[in-house]
Structure 1
């Protein structure tokens, strides 16, 4: 790609970013606003807050001959007006069903290419009310710019608290665990009276090694031959336009209800949300297919994990990082109707606890970067695509603020991130 500009080279694109570029994965983030769109105010906010805060928002991807054709990020001048889209929708469709009008328009974005001669992001403004908001703004950007965690962090860092406009929105309290997912227990004293504790400490390392070997073998088998059964969640590839079209639907849950279940079942918020998603997709499957309610279908999911070492969330918000820093866990995902709805949460708690005693999540990003570095972007992307096509669903999380915020002068009612370009369905939780 060649574009005319008078910019200077910043840095080469990371292996993960090159993989996202090759696969064509993009992020779509829907934001419901609590007020009608004041376009001049929002535009000024984009220019002063977002574009200046994240280098990728004023950079383009170019091929540099001095680096043997590897893409690099290059600074360029940004005209914010080129990144603002105000679509013209049928007034009758908007009046009859505004939610469906928003969903139809956002789904159409998955079929539209992005202009690669300018930074790969754009804002779409839908200035009509829905059941959850007064207006809707859709941010679409290429995944090579950053992951959902870095993008939502950018938006929070560019916002102000509704309670106090002089400060950033407050973030949830930091998690108890601030280190890696697997944290071995402390070694007990070397004395005869503590021999059982010492044996348990040694045994924990055997369990760690065994789980890591099993998880690694499953990942390799998935890339080579092990594939999930075909269900309605995996669309048959016909190499046509319909095979690339994605639909984006969001639902809001009461966080107080989620915390109540978390406390009662002694699990994590992530366990509750995975269980709720499993229950919803199971009910959807049996309602759409009419299969026997006693049928059980074993599928697998890829749970994306933020690999950034963060001590507190508030300090992370104040230092927005660039790029993608992701790892993943491959977890079972069963389609089944349970008599007890809480059994979905218990199942999620079991397999997530099991995954915490494995180092596979630490090896995944390292191996991925090595594949791209030593075998080339084509080979690395082929392997990633094989893994994605052999699994069914992607889970991802993004941490939002603990209070209402105002972005670019507009109160935000909700944010709903998602992605397209991957072969599986995606479930993103904020």
Structure 2
């Protein structure tokens, strides 16, 4: 390797190295459906002029030196190698969600090629859908969605960038600190950090109809969508004192799981049977797309890369789902404790320290064990609050999923223009009927809205 090459090479961050380990290798898949047919040349032109190609990571190869250390090395980007065009329909069945099936196939059997920068764009011409694939080592969901939206414009004002809002918006209320609150912070942080350590070493969920485990990430997948109205979620939120949209979301998940488990194994579970989810939490402030667009000028306050913590979220099975608002109240009580703790930043710092001192291999093993010892993954991204267009094409929906994990069920939700679509990726051999599970989630919100309307 010559001196000029060494000058160009940039080492990967610890988190970037983690996502390149075999057990935690992750690709993010984002489907953007348009209203009009796709214009291939316009899309290529937009890519050439985009913020993405100005970022060095999207124009770099991942290389390893003789010691196995990973580096980014700048290279020329051949756009045509990154664009995959599918002209023919993906399915002859009009009732089949062919794009979801396509993304499910990508999630477990189609890694990105290492002989080019780690991203691809699939143009599904017959379905008027663009599938953007990017390796998780390049950045987390917040970074990548922000970068993608910098190429979009508001439909009602084509000169303006989209505005972000909806699910997951943080409260502007200031927390009042006192001695009791500080003691609770210390106590809950200690308990939850110990929980992470125990999960990585030996503690695991009891088996249920939703359980995965080591090796399940290699099993065939199926992908379905559960759609929610943000107005309905807000109606439920107002019916529970001081609740948030995220409380409502997790109440929906808890109620939906209980309904589904009651159908799959009604006599196998005891009341209060607990399964545990792993949630990804953004740790950086999100100042807006206008600031993100200045990233290449070095003037942005936005930090690129992977910066998120993990929360362990317990879900308890309840056979009686008649009082649907009770699930939101229980979710709020649990999440309030999580918010009061420093679990998410501590999990990030512990992982970063392990990767920096002991290397990505050990961090990958511990991460994998946590996933094997829990039951599901969930993430939630805040998308545009109004309708947008990309390359002049109005966007119908934005849906995100990722590579499969040892979990048999992975859920990723993105809000967009008054709706929230949750992509439910399952191992088909464990959950053969994910459409039923998606319906359980949707029915849970309907029941909660009805209960909230009666209460008000």
Name the TM-score, length of structure 1 as normaliser.
Answer: 0.85
Query: Structure 1 residue 138: deviation in Å?
Result: 1.4
**Correspondence list, 1:48-197, <5 A:** 48-65=49-66, 68-87=67-86, 94-97=91-94, 99-109=96-106, 110-129=108-127, 135-172=128-165, 175-177=170-172, 185-186=176-177
Say yes or no: does 1:385 pair with 2:368. yes
Partner of 1:280: 256
Distance in 2 of aligned mates of 1:218 and 1:339 = 32
Secondary structure of the residue aligned to 1:248 is: strand
Partner of 1:247: 222
Listed as ranges, the gaps of 5+ residues in structure 2 are 296-302, 415-456
8 Å CA contact 1:300, 1:392 repeated in 2 = yes
Query: Structure 1 residue 143: deviation in Å?
Result: 0.8
Partner of 1:403: 386
Q: Deviations over 1:301-340 (max 9, x none)?
A: 1121101134x43555445642111101112112334221
Partner of 1:132: none
Partner of 2:313: 331
8 Å CA contact 2:87, 2:126 repeated in 1 = no
8 Å CA contact 1:8, 1:74 repeated in 2 = no
Distance in 2 of aligned mates of 1:414 and 1:7 = 43
Listed as ranges, the gaps of 5+ residues in structure 1 are 130-134, 187-200
Distance in 2 of aligned mates of 1:405 and 1:306 = 24
Query: Structure 1 residue 101: deviation in Å?
Result: 2.3
8 Å CA contact 2:60, 2:73 repeated in 1 = yes
Distance in 1 of aligned mates of 2:294 and 2:310 = 24
8 Å CA contact 2:279, 2:310 repeated in 1 = yes
Distance in 2 of aligned mates of 1:72 and 1:366 = 22
Partner of 1:268: 244
Say yes or no: does 1:226 pair with 2:224. no
Relative to structure 1, is the Cα distance of residues 246 and 96 closer, same or farther in structure 2, using a 3 angstrom cutoff? closer
8 Å CA contact 2:149, 2:289 repeated in 1 = no
Q: Say what the alpha-carbon RMSD is for the aligned residues.
A: 2.6
Distance in 1 of aligned mates of 2:316 and 2:55 = 40
Secondary structure of the residue aligned to 2:332 is: helix
Relative to structure 1, is the Cα distance of residues 165 and 58 closer, same or farther in structure 2, using a 3 angstrom cutoff? same
8 Å CA contact 2:150, 2:289 repeated in 1 = no
Query: Structure 1 residue 81: deviation in Å?
Result: 1.2
Query: Structure 1 residue 6: deviation in Å?
Result: 7.7
Secondary structure of the residue aligned to 1:163 is: coil
8 Å CA contact 1:27, 1:419 repeated in 2 = yes
Relative to structure 1, is the Cα distance of residues 238 and 150 closer, same or farther in structure 2, using a 3 angstrom cutoff? closer
Q: Deviations over 1:110-167 (max 9, x none)?
A: 20222101011111222235xxxxx222112211111111111111122111111111
Secondary structure of the residue aligned to 1:250 is: strand
Relative to structure 1, is the Cα distance of residues 244 and 9 closer, same or farther in structure 2, using a 3 angstrom cutoff? farther
Say yes or no: does 1:304 pair with 2:305. no
Secondary structure of the residue aligned to 1:253 is: strand
Partner of 2:14: 15
